[in-house]
A and B are shown apart, each in its own frame.
Chain A
Amino acid sequence: MASMADVRETKLPGVGVRHEFTTDDGEHVGVLVHRDGRRELLVYDRDDPDACRWMLSMSVADTRTIGELLGASRVTEEVDAVVRQEIEGLSIEWMEMPEGSPAAGRTIGDGEYRTKTGASIVAVIRGDKTIPAPGPDQAMYEGDVIVAVGTNEGLVRVREILRT
């Protein structure tokens, strides 16, 4: 699974949140999420890097349609629900199970992630299959992408457990 681009997030007081990243081709792309759930897809201008060359306004339903067409997984929505509550100090992170990880082949319960780190694993993504809300007897393997929610310190510790 190709790694995700680095997404920067900027708050727009009274409007919503803007996420932006640079595509592999060097295009600067943004998504503006309005408070009411409307979204704008933005493509920035190469000559005037702050202005948008192209813009698409989408209702919540349009967003879902485009997401499906682009092959986004269901996990995004669930994650969205967590993030939208904007709980102070709570973050979400996608991490890949590294090769040779001692946690590979073991279940979530075996790893005692919640007890040790306070963070919860909310989904496991394996290839194009997503296992949302996995139970404690869910096994994880090398190459799985693990989606965890917790404090920043907690997430760092989850990453450490997966690696060593």
Chain B
Amino acid sequence: MLIAAGSAEVALAFVEIGAVTLGLAVLARFAGWLGLTAVPFYLIAGLGLGEGGISQLEDSIEFIEIASELGVLLLLFTLGLEYSESELRSGLRTGIRPGTLDMLLNALPGVALGLLLGWEPLAAVLLGGVTWISSSGVVSKVLSDLGRLGYRETPAILNLLVIEDLAMAIYLPTVAALIVGGSLSSTVVSVLIALTTVSVILLAALRFGGKLSDLVVGGGNEALMLMVFGITVLVAGLAQQLEVSGAIGAFLVGLALKGEAAERLLRLFEPLRDLFAAFFFLYFSFQIDPGDLLGVAVPAIGLALFTATTKVITGWYAAGRIGAAPRGRLRAGTALIARGEFSIVIAALGASLIDGPELGAVAAGYVLLTAIIGPVLTKFYDRIPVPARLAARPSPAPAPTSP
């Protein structure tokens, strides 16, 4: 029997994987009991089990590494699945201005801190990405748990998330190409190749997405899942070979699928994504030494507080544009504070940089803080003191809504 051959090692690996997964399950349950996302708890678990932690995994690390890579692909794939083409268009139409403000207010502080810490510019740009992107996963879960999906400011929040995710389709391949580096001209060429690849896949996704959906949706659930998993990983692999981030390849595949296919796939892939994404967060913080995390505590806390404020301003502005009143605008602002999966994906890109370890530590501490502060403030937004001058100011006239 083939499997029995290496049985001692396999047995150890199974024990480790099983124990780790059980641990994650307990954490997920605890997070659910607190009403928070499990991401920060996974990160803490990874700190304890990884480099410099209380114990280290030996036999299962290779599996967890591959699982974590698949986790990123599935995170972005399901994110792409959630948006329909018409939503993207209406999001783009209404969201450019708030999206630009969002980028300026939230990415620049990260870049500035990176430079202040004396990092290489590319690491600083990655930190800007970490602080820029709110966590779609956390934000939509919090809104749905608090029963606020029907609130009138909610479209402003969701549209901003769409814009951020789309901006990532440009940002991620660009920085991925920059990280590969080389001479100036070869870097320019690889950035151009990356952006061209993304545009080609994006156009193909929008143009032939319907056909692809019809093609895959034919068989039963088993065939559907295997086929789409295959396509996603294949496209991601090809994208990776062209030095475009594989995650963006997966995102674009998700975007291409629509209608009935997208709905069934979302249900099929959610459990898979949750399993593999848990390994991704775990593996990310494996590589962080808890000692390093303490070393960057001050900048991480400062950054979290500062960019929590800038997100509130962003949400305040975006919700005001669609005619929300002060309380609604404050709710929109607090809802956006949480950073999560995307920030970690971005920080993980920089692992190979000289300042990569420090970037990873700041990002982990930062996500830990914002993913906890965000949902708590969102829930108790009405206890936040708002200057009377702002609270009394009438909101601008409601923007005309499309028929």
Contact = CB atoms under 8 A, between A and B. Distances in A.
Q: Is the interface of A mostly helix, strand, loop or mixed?
A: strand
Is the interface on chain B under 10, 10 to 19, 20 to 34, or 35 or more residues?
20 to 34
Nearest to A31: B150
B140 A15 contact: yes
A14 B150 contact: no
A8 to B, nearest CB: 5
B343 to A, nearest CB: 19
Given A9-B401, A11-B90, A88-B86, A49 B149 contact: no
Interface string A4-30: 000011111111001010000000001
A32 B263 CA distance: 18
Nearest to A20: B152
Interface string A100-135: 000000000000000000000000000000000000
B278 to A, nearest CB: 21
Contact of B327 (A9, A48, A52): A48
Contacts of B136: 14
Interface stretch (B3-11, B105-113, B154-162, B306-314): B154-162
B102 interface: no
Contacts, number: 79
B99 to A, nearest CB: 13
Interface string A33-55: 00110001010100011111001
A15 B83 CA distance: 9
A88 B259 CA distance: 13
Given A51-B327, A86-B86, A15 B149 contact: yes
Nearest to A91: B403
B83 A14 contact: yes
Contacts of B327: 48, 50-51
A86 B84 contact: yes
B263 A11 contact: no
Contacts of A88: 86
Contacts of B84: 13, 86
A86 B154 CA distance: 22
Given A48-B328, A86-B86, A88-B86, A13 B149 contact: no
Contacts of A48: 325, 327-328
B153 interface: yes
A13 B150 contact: no
B87 A14 contact: yes
14 contacts: A9-B403, A10-B401, A11-B86, A12-B154, A12-B158, A13-B158, A13-B161, A13-B162, A14-B161, A14-B162, A15-B140, A49-B152, A51-B151, A55-B150
- Top 7 closest A-B pairs, CB basis? A50-B328, A50-B152, A14-B82, A13-B87, A42-B150, A32-B150, A13-B158
Interface of B: 82-84, 86-88, 90-91, 136, 140, 147-155, 158-159, 161-162, 263, 319, 324-325, 327-328, 331, 401-403
